[in-house]
Each structure stands twice: as C-alpha cells, then as structure tokens.
A and B are shown apart, each in its own frame.
Chain A
Amino acid sequence: MNSLSGCCKKDFPTLKVKVYGKRLVYLDSAATSLKPESVIESIVDFYSNHNANIHRGVYLLSQEATELYEKTRTKLKKFFNTPKEGEIIYTSGTTAAVNLVASSWGRTSLGEGDVIVLSGMEHHSNMVPWQIVAREKGAKLIYIPVTDSGELDLEEYKLIFKNHSVKIVAVNHISNVLGTLNPVEEIVRQAHRYGALVLIDGAQSAPHIPVDISRIDPDFYTVSGHKMLGPTGTGFLYGRKEILKSMPPYQSGGDMIEEVSLKNATWNELPYKFEAGTQNIAGFVGLGAAVDYLISAGMDRVRKHGEELSMKAREMLSSVKGIKFYGPEKGSPGGVLSFNIEGAHPHDIGTILDSEGIAVRTGHHCAQPLMKRLGVAATVRASFYIYNDEQDIESLYSGIHKVAEVLKLGVK
C-alpha cells in the first residue's frame, strides 16, 4: 500500500456496488468499515463447514467451532498486546463493553459523591451508560473540557483530581468527530497516581493505529470489531484481570456458570464469566480474519494512510468557499475529516453527495455535547480507511462543487 493509493480496493466486494449507476465512494468507515472478501469467506466457511455451538459439545464439530472462536481471542491478545490470559471479553462492540463496565463495575464500586471523569468529546456510548449509573449511585460526572483547537485540556484534567475523589476516567483514544488522537498514556498515568481507574474507548483507534494495551496500561479498553474490517456485532472489552475477577457477572445464563443448583450458582472463570449465552461465534471467527488482514496491511502503514488521506482531503477542500474544518490540521490518525460549508446544511450536503455515489456521514455523530462545544448542530464527516485513495478525495472534491451548484451557493 502506497501512502495515498488504496492498496486493495479489489479485496472489498462492496466497492463493486454501483450507486445510482455511479462508482461507490465510501467515506463512512468511522461508522462501520467495509469487509474484505477474506472476512466474508471465513463466515461462510464457518457456517458451511464448522457450525456448532461452542464449549459444550464433546463432538468434533463443536471442538472445531470452539477452536476457531478461541483462536480469534489469541490473535486479539497478540494484536493488541494485552498482558494476561482471560482479559479479553467478547462483546457485541464498544457500546456493550462500556455498558458492561458501567453496570458491573460501576454498580458495585461507585458511591455517593464519587466522581466519574469523562471528556467533552465522547461518543454518547461512553457517556450515557455513565450518566445512568451516576444517577443511580449518586456519583458525579465531571467533563474534561475541549480546547478551541479540538484537544482535551489536560491542565483542567489534572486539576479535577485535586478537589475530587475520582473513581474512574473514561475517554476515547481517537475522537469519532474530530479525529483527534488523545494522549491516553498521560491520562492513564495521572489517574493511576490518584488510584482512579481508566477506561479507554478504542472504537476509532483500534482500526487505525497500532494499539499496545500493555504500554498504555489502562484498566479497561473497548473495541468494536465492525470498524476494523470485522463483522457487525463483534468487539471486546479488555479488562485488567484483578479488576475483572472482583466484578460480578453482567448478564447471566448459560456458559457463564461453573455450577448451578436450584438456589445458587458459581461463576465460570474469566473471560467466560462475562460471556453468557450463545455468542456471535461466526462473527468472532470473521473478526479473526479481519485481524489477519490488518496484520498483513501493517498498522503503521494503515495509520499513515489515514493521516495522509485526511490531510490531503483537507488541503484540497480548503479552497471551497465558506468551508470550515473541525479537528487536527495535520491530518487525523483516525482518518477523519469533519467540516461544514456556510449556507449548506450537512443534511443537504449528504443528500447531494449521495446522488454522486459518495457516502459520508452527516449529523451530530452521536456526540451532541461536542457539537454544542463546536457551536454547530451538525457536521459533515468524511472518514477514510485502507481501501480509499486519492481518486476518492477527487470525487469528494467534485461532489462538493455539485453541492454548491445545486444549492446555488454564492448566488443568493
């Protein structure tokens, strides 16, 4: 993969789809990525050749299914460099992972007056679960402010610890709106100094940059598989083993138990204590194939590609009259470019770009407090991934000119 040319459009069947007879220009990978053929094939292969439930059957097929399912966990452990066995809990995605922590850890560890620190650039999924548990337990939410340049105000962050009993800090690694890469190592160090835990929402970082969980050293790290080439309904929660051990089950039922009597039950070992019921087995097999694909692409190159494309797009679009960008000037490691055009509502821009086959996200991107901070109701977000190339940016550029033409911008 060269920095600006897409490596691998041919690997992604969705890119063959015609939209209103036009080439699909998919610029919404921050919402969900396309899936390579190898991931799709692994799912078909699982259902065709290995379909059985896991962990229960003594028969061969069930053993095969269990192996395939668990192999992905091993791959994820290596890919994200997590310290110990049993720390990767499969979930349906980041939202479920945050809910697991807020509910299981939050309900048993938070009390009246305790503080949960979030940031002003969180996705609703790393905000609402905390709001709910805070209300229930009488805990307080304090937000790290976002600076005018779209970064977290670390000075303000540090001050919070001086006056409050902070129990947990939950922030994203890369913002889904701005594409800002947050200094998570520093955030973790500061919290640990005061005995607070840290959850990092890795929904946008895991697909785009090398993530070394042992080095970042958070207590929890959440990932969505479907944003990193994997199937929807897959993701995981990394949790520090000692903490996971002390946490009660989140959901209960089959597979998460050790022994059940009529009155009582004991819990299975980690990570199964948190994986009740039949899981998305084929999905996690597919996620394993996605990890393989990313390993062969090389995460350093993936990061560079996203940064360069978002920077190139910003450069090119900066000549558009009335355009305003939100986020890092030098390109986003998350491959994200958010913008608005004076006189054109993002929703109109989205519809007009769609007519050209260009898929972008428009709206508040599940981050209404951040929108308020930016002083806008909505933005247009183009997000780039490994299958995007310079031609896609050119299409976006011509698409934006079409917007100006249809909405008669600069005429009225």
Chain B
Amino acid sequence: MELSELYREVILTHATHPHHYGEIENPDKKAHGSNPLCGDSFDIEIKMDGDKIAEISFVGAGCSISKASASMMTEMARGKTVKEFYDLLDKMEKLVRGELAEKDTEELGDLAALAGVSAFPIRVKCAILPWKTLKNAVEDDG
C-alpha cells in the first residue's frame, strides 16, 4: 500500500485548487450527490449545447480524492457529448477499480493519476461520487 500512489501531486493540486468550482448561471441540468458514510457532498450544474456538455461547474465538500476527481472530471467532460461522457465514465470506473488496461489510461490525462485509488477499495466511492452525480445531472430532466 503506497500512500504516494494515492496522494499524487496532481491530485493534491486539483484538490486544493479545483477547476470549475462554483455555480453557473441558468444551468440546464443539475444534480446533488452525497456519500452518507463520510459526509462528502457535491452539487453539479451543467449547460447543454444540443447533445454536448457545454459548461460544467461543481461545489461541495469532500476529501482530496473526491474533490480532485470532481475537478478533473469537469476538465474532461466539458465539450463531450453525452455518449462520450458515458464512455469516459465507464473507463474511469474501471480505472479506479484497477480494471483498466495500461494503454487505455493514456487518453485520460490527469485523470490517470486516480489509478492509485484501486489499492484503497474503501476510497473508490470517493473517486466515483462526482461522476455518479454528473451522470444524474446529465439524466436530469427538470
């Protein structure tokens, strides 16, 4: 169990300086997600452009893993179609469960740093929470 694998520099940076943190004006869709066990709680808002996630923001409180995951997710999901987001979500889940092939991690950019979570099963939920919340936001029909 290597802590440095979990708390990589890029994760700590995202956690302390999260991207797209805040609210957007007149969001088209939104969702709230929480992990009752640890008290992590996130609100995600998005603006759609047709089938594309045009804008995305999040607010909330959580551990470094969930916060960094949320921050990186906003970077990755912006500009993606819903279908592309689902593909990404699938890869992300495999990544944190340690089921993603090494070669498939390349296109994930910063997100690949979350691979270290797979050695800490109890923290997988933290990494996935913002993604599940975004999925709910995407599927939010008012």
By a beta-carbon cutoff of 8 Å, the part of chain A in contact with chain B is 20, 343, 345-348, 351-352, 355, 362-364, 368, 371, 376-378, 406-408, 412
Contacts and interface: CB of A to CB of B under 8 A. Distances in A.
A343 B38 CA distance: 16
Nearest to A349: B63
B135 to A, nearest CB: 22
Nearest to B67: A345
Contacts of A345: 61-64, 67
A348 B63 contact: yes
Nearest to B34: A377
- Cβ-closest 4 pairs across A and B: A377-B39, A345-B63, A347-B63, A378-B39
B101 interface: no
Given A347-B126, A363-B37, A363-B39, A377 B61 contact: yes
Nearest to B12: A408
Interface string B12-53: 110011000000000000000000111111000000000000
A412 B15 CA distance: 11
Contact of A377 (B17, B40, B67): B40
Contact of A407 (B12, B37, B40, B122): B12
Contacts of B17: 412
A364 B122 CA distance: 16
Contacts, number: 58
Contact of A406 (B7, B13, B37): B7
B138 interface: no
7 contacts: A20-B1, A343-B16, A351-B120, A363-B37, A364-B39, A377-B38, A407-B7
A269 B7 CA distance: 60
A347 B40 contact: yes
Contacts of B67: 345
B65 interface: yes
B7 A378 contact: no
Contacts of A355: 1, 3
Contacts of A20: 1
Given A376-B39, A377-B40, 7 more contacts: A343-B16, A347-B63, A351-B3, A355-B1, A363-B37, A363-B38, A407-B12
B132 interface: no
B18 to A, nearest CB: 12
Contacts of B7: 348, 352, 406-407
Nearest to B60: A377
Given A346-B38, A363-B38, A406 B63 contact: no
B72 interface: no
A376 B7 CA distance: 23
A178 B126 CA distance: 26
A81 B7 CA distance: 52
A325 B16 CA distance: 23
B78 interface: no
A347 to B, nearest CB: 4
B39 to A, nearest CB: 4
A412 B16 contact: yes
Interface string B63-101: 111010000000000000000000000000000000000
B124 interface: no
A343 B41 CA distance: 16
A355 B41 CA distance: 25
Contacts of B63: 345-348
Contacts of A363: 37-39
B41 A377 contact: yes
Nearest to A20: B1
B111 interface: no
Contacts of A376: 39
A406 B3 contact: yes
B137 to A, nearest CB: 21
B78 to A, nearest CB: 24
Nearest to B6: A351
A406 B65 CA distance: 13
Contacts of A346: 38-39, 63
A378 B3 contact: no
Nearest to A402: B3
Contacts of B65: 347-348
A346 B64 CA distance: 10
